[in-house]
Structure 1
Amino acid sequence: MTSSQAFKAFTVKEVIAEIKQYFSNKLFKTLIRKNITLVEASSQGTPALHYSPKSHGAIDYYKLAQEVISFEKEEISAGIQ
């Protein structure tokens, strides 16, 4: 089995599990689902939230942004105390 064949043998869930094993405390919880709308928006040079706000990709990126903002607020609050 070549290395590329071995790599293809992994499923997305297996890769995510492996990443979580090594970086669990440094990962956001939000996952961006594969979505054709993201490709279409990118090819149009338009943000996914403008191109198709109700698509899975746009919603996932919105959730990620909310998670990042929440994380930063917690970091700022922790630094103030």
Structure 2
Amino acid sequence: MAGSFKHCLTDEGNYHGLGLLENMKDMAEAVEQMAFMLLQLKQRWGGEMIVQGLEDNYYECLRGERPWPDFMKPGIED
């Protein structure tokens, strides 16, 4: 799959960015795969609570209220 989740990661499994997603079809495939994984995580291990916690953590990092986890720190090539 050209637009897979793996194209957004480095070989070490950290976030790489979106540079390898060449077009909207690739982007849609990557987003669909990530949504599937997130929904599967929600179903298996935590229901709404884990998803809400993950979303809250993302926005706290985005607003600068907490540091980004190491797996999200640059080396990003967009």
Same fold (TM over 0.5): no
Q: Which has the higher contact order (CA 8 A, sep 6+)?
A: 2
TM-score tier after normalising by the smaller chain length: 0.3 to 0.5
Whichever of the two has the greater Rg, that structure is 1
TM-score under structure 2 length normalisation: 0.34
Question: Larger % of helix: which?
Answer: 1
